[in-house]
């Protein structure tokens, strides 16, 4: 089977690594891929948003299965572009990816189908948003409706912050059109958990849980980022909570999307807040999380191709999804200055230390292969993942392995998995 992966970040490297292990796969391509992915796949320099060239390439190479990794192409209809001309695609159609593409859509869906989430109001008019804030309880959360690289969410402690937030999103348009409409949402407290679920349009199967660290600096300080590190499983996501989420969140979400004529096939990422009143949905994403994928996929026992094909064919209920009874921790090595300004182009040393080391992985996010070797080429550069018998061992292993890598301006958080000490 010939497979094409669309994307070129750490998530796609984790997917590509796992796909390359499948005995069914004879040839693997990635567009555009990256230096790490090129070790397991042939990379072709086509942008994830250039659907025309991607489809032409897939026809030329007679691709049997296309896997679309990132949110931008999914929300813009990448899965449709392939399926309309007869390709088998893993990833939701545009009309289902809207669950991530529009926060207002997902909030309305949850309200209509009684899926637990924070109370909210939606605004197209900045004047009305400002008026509403005058009587609202602080802290409060402002969210740009559209995609904003995970950065369009503002947590505001005071009325003044909130008013400035409305200005940033709706008037200064810091996130462009994504901020034409905003959701203003009740602030929730509790532990956050990410649960990625395989979906076939009807059935939904949660994978093992994970927790991300979204802020740039130790102690959850600094700006929001795409994610600075993850651990899996979350010790706070108990079987009982999983059972609750299955009945009150996962199954109802699948049924709601079906009812709306938007069958969801692919990975549904459910961001949860475990509040005092029970688990509530923070957000939905229409894809694997990054870096969540980097701790979840290495623990998946199944052949990922079997699971993806079952999702496409509506046969997920026949799949016995299994994860290893261990733990994994991923520490992101970033360029100093991320998520704002940073330099790139620095030589990365030590990648070979991961060769043939069982249970240790270096997933490439922002790297480039040059004549001198692999160099830094983005804000998030590498995801160093290690497994261990339990979370403590996995964390110790990951923080040992980050020392095997060296590059100028290397930056990381030192407290990934801190919550493990609080269980």
Interacting residue with ligand AMP among 3, 81, 98, 141 (CB under 6 A) = 141
Interacting residue with ligand AMP among 12, 185, 290, 309 (CB under 6 A) = 185
User: With CB cut-offs between 5 and 8 Å by kind, which of ligand AMP, ligand GLY, none does residue 289 bind?
Assistant: ligand GLY
Neighbours of 146 (CB within 10 A): 20
User: Which region, judged by CB under 6 A, interacts with ligand AMP, from 179-187, 256-264, 385-393, 398-406?
Assistant: 179-187
Q: Which one, 80 or 212, has the nearer CB to ligand GLY?
A: 212
* 371 Cβ contact partners less than 8 Å away, ≥ 6 residues apart: none
| Interface residues toward ligand GLY, by CB under 6 A | 150, 212, 227, 285, 289-290, 292
User: With CB cut-offs between 5 and 8 Å by kind, which of ligand AMP, ligand GLY, none does residue 93 bind?
Assistant: none
**Which residue number has the CB closest to ligand AMP?**
283
| Tokens, residue 231 | 């651990």
User: 81 to each of 46, 196, 299, how far by Cα in Å?
Assistant: 15, 24, 32
Q: Which one, 80 or 185, has the nearer CB to ligand AMP?
A: 185
**In whole angstroms, what separates CA 18 from the centre of its chain?**
17
Query: What DSSP string runs through 315-373?
Result: -GGG----B-SSEEEEEEEEETTTTS-----PBPB-GGGGTT-TTEEEEESSEEEETTE
Shortest Å, Cβ 408 to ligand GLY: 26
Whole-angstrom Cα distance, residue 132 to residue 150?
25
Q: Which one, 116 or 271, has the nearer CB to ligand GLY?
A: 271
User: With CB cut-offs between 5 and 8 Å by kind, which of ligand GLY, ligand AMP, none does residue 187 bind?
Assistant: ligand AMP
Which residue from 53, 64, 81, 14 is spatially nearest to 330, judged by alpha carbons? 14
User: Which region, judged by CB under 6 A, interacts with ligand AMP, from 148-156, 230-238, 314-322, 341-349?
Assistant: 148-156
**In whole angstroms, what separates CA 172 from the centre of its chain?**
27
Whole-angstrom Cα distance, residue 127 to residue 114?
29
Q: Tell me which residues in 247-286 interact with ligand AMP (CB under 6 A).
A: 271, 282-283
**Under the rule (CB under 6 A), what is the footprint of ligand AMP?**
118, 141, 143, 150, 153, 155, 185-188, 192, 214, 271, 282-283
């Amino acid at each position: 089977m010939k497979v094409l992966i669309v994307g070129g970040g750490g998530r796609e490297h984790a997917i590509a690594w796992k796909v390359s292990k499948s005995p069914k796969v004879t040839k693997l391509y990635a567009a555009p891929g990256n230096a790490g992915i090129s070790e397991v796949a042939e990379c072709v320099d086509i942008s994830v948003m250039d659907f025309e060239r991607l489809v032409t390439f897939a026809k030329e190479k007679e691709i049997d299965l296309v896997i679309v990794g990132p949110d931008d192409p999914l929300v813009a209809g990448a899965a449709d572009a392939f399926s309309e001309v007869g390709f088998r695609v893993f990833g939701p159609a545009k009309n289902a990816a809207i669950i991530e593409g529009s926060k207002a859509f997902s909030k309305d869906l949850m309200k209509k189908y009684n899926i637990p989430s924070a109370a909210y109001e939606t605004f197209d008019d900045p004047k009305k948003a400002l008026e509403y804030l005058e009587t609202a309880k602080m802290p409060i959360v402002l969210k740009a409706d559209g995609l904003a690289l995970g950065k369009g969410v503002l947590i505001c402690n005071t009325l003044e912050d909130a008013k400035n937030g409305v200005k940033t999103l709706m008037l200064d348009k810091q996130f462009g059109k994504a901020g034409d409409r905003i959701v203003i949402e009740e602030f929730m407290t509790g532990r956050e958990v990410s649960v990625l679920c395989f979906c076939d349009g009807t059935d939904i199967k949660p994978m093992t849980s994970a927790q991300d660290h979204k802020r740039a600096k130790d102690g959850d300080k600094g700006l929001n980022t795409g994610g600075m590190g993850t651990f899996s499983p979350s010790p706070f996501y108990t079987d009982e909570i999983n059972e609750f989420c299955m009945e009150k969140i996962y199954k109802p979400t699948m049924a709601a999307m079906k009812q709306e004529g938007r069958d969801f096939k692919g990975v549904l990422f459910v961001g949860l807040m475990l509040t005092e009143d029970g688990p509530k949905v923070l957000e939905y994403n229409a894809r694997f999380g990054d870096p969540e994928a980097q701790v979840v996929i290495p623990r998946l026992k199944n052949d990922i191709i079997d699971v993806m094909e079952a999702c496409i064919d509506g046969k997920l209920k026949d799949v016995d999804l299994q994860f290893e009874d261990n733990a994994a921790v991923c520490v992101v090595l970033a360029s100093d200055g991320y998520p704002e300004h940073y330099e790139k182009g620095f030589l990365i040393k030590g990648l070979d230390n991961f060769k043939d080391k069982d249970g240790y992985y270096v997933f490439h996010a922002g790297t480039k292969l040059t004549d001198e070797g692999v160099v830094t080429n983005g804000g998030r550069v590498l995801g160093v993942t290690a497994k261990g018998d339990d979370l403590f061992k996995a964390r110790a292993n990951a923080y040992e392995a980050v020392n095997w890598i060296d590059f100028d301006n290397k930056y990381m958080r030192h407290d990934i998995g801190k919550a493990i000490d609080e269980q």
